């Protein structure tokens, strides 16, 4: 990328009010299929891509998926960021533009709070990846990531707990916060929680999980989300371009 990914995302939010990122899970499709999904998402107007998932796949698959995604972008003569969304050190790739360097603050397992980060930090530096510091919070129901990451799930009715964690992340130097309902969740993070975190912190608020329709996306955007992430929608849609386009039309 010719500009820093973090700066680009903030610029998109400043201009459009919200950014949209499409999440590609390397465990859910072959790299050649990821290329097609990305191509459709670019045509729909997504602002960029995240790559990662809750379950482990080999580094070779990550590299091949990122390269395939790059081809899907470049065929449209576009420049869209590819941001790693890693579940561990195995999920890093030199072919990406940046990494969400995140800590699952509400995990009971220190591996997800700081262990993986300590092991991965030297590799992130050696790969030359832009690092974007992020507090990662798993909200009920949490899905696979909540189970794998042994999260002490934040109750949907307790926005003040999410705010407390987010503030802790901010005071530790993080600049983004990800409110995660879990892949395939039946509904998104509650709007009251999104609004509370947006109003009580200075963080870029990213919301993902359970955003299945334009209506869901609009509620999250109106509640104060800076960045919306859709993943399961892409995996299940028979027309990716149409599905993403319908969301982008109501949030921008």
Q: For the domain that residue 218 is a member of, what is the CATH number?
A: 3.20.20.390
- In this prediction, residue 57 carries a pLDDT of 79
Q: What is the pLDDT of residue 238?
A: 85
Task: Give the pLDDT confidence score for residue 224 in this predicted structure.
Answer: 99
- Whole-number average pLDDT of the chain: 96
Two tokens, residue 56: 């482990």
Asked if residue 33 lies in contact with residue 111, where contact means CB atoms within 8 angstroms, the answer is: no
Q: Which domain holds residue 166?
A: 5-251
Total count of domains within the chain: 1
CB-CB contact of 151 with 107 (8 Å): yes
What is the token pair recorded at 246?
A: 């319908």
Strand pairing of 130-138 and 227-230? unpaired
DSSP type of residue 208: E
Mean pLDDT of all residues in 68-76: 97
Give the dihedral sign, CA 156/161/164/166. Answer: negative
Residue 236: the pLDDT is: 81
pLDDT band, very low/low/confident/very high, at 135 (cuts 50, 70, 90): very high
What is the rounded average pLDDT of the residues 217-240? 93
Q: Are 228 and 20 in contact (CB under 8 A)?
A: yes
Q: Which helix (H) or strand (E) holds 98?
A: strand 98-104
What is the spatial distance between Cα 109 and Cα 117, in angstroms, rounded to a whole number? 13
Could you give the 3-state DSSP secondary structure of residue 86?
Answer: coil
Averaged pLDDT, 149-158: 98
């Amino acid at each position: 990328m010719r500009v820093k990914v973090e700066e680009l995302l903030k610029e998109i939010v400043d201009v459009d009010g919200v950014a949209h990122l499409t999440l590609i899970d390397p465990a859910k499709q072959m790299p050649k299929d990821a290329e097609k999904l990305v191509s459709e998402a670019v045509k729909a107007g997504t602002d960029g891509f995240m790559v990662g998932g809750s379950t482990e796949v080999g580094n070779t698959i990550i590299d091949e998926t990122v390269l395939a995604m790059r081809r899907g972008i470049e065929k449209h003569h576009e420049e869209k960021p590819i941001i790693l969304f890693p579940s561990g050190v195995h999920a890093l790739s030199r072919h990406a533009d940046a990494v969400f360097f995140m800590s699952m603050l509400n995990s009971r397992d220190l591996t997800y709070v700081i262990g993986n980060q300590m092991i991965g930090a030297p590799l992130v530096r050696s790969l030359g990846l832009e690092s974007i510091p992020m507090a990662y919070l798993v909200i009920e129901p949490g899905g696979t990531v909540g189970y794998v990451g042994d999260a002490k799930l934040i109750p949907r009715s307790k926005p003040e707990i999410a705010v407390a964690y987010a503030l802790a992340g901010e005071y530790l130097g993080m600049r983004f916060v990800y409110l995660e309902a879990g892949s395939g969740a039946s509904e998104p993070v509650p709007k009251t929680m999104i609004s509370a975190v947006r109003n009580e912190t200075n963080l870029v608020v990213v919301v993902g999980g359970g955003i299945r329709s334009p209506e869901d996306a609009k509620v999250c955007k109106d509640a104060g989300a800076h960045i919306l992430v859709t993943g399961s929608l892409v995996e299940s849609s028979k027309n990716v371009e149409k599905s993403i386009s319908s969301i982008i039309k109501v949030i921008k």
